[in-house]
Amino acid sequence: MTPKITPDHFSRGAAVYIRQSSMSQVVDNTESRRRQYALADTAKAAGFASVMVIDDDLGRSGSGLIERPGFQKLMTAVCTDRIGAVYCIEASRLARNDVGS
């Protein structure tokens, strides 16, 4: 674990952001989804007692053409200091366009 993660981060808990861009990915790429959900166990093993899993955006594209309520939930949790870490398989998935952000 990196020394940049402090006891304060652990006290706030962690969030696991899960997303696949299309419904066909949700149906066909079950291994990716399983790996994403397994990040909750990784966060708990790292010492986060509270882990919020955000999977509202399964099957929603990051193109900016549709809303992603899960991303909004994640950003609210980050901006209000409710979480101390974000776990995701690919961080670039967080940087995609979002309607209303």
Q: Which residues contact 40 (CB under 8 A, 6 or more apart)?
A: 16, 51, 53, 87
The region, left, alpha or beta by phi > 0 then psi within -120 to 50, assigned to residue 13 is: left
Residue of 11, 21, 24, 32 marked catalytic: 21
Indicate if 50 belongs to the active site. no
CA–CA dist 13, 85 (Å, integer): 7
**Positions marked active-site:** 21
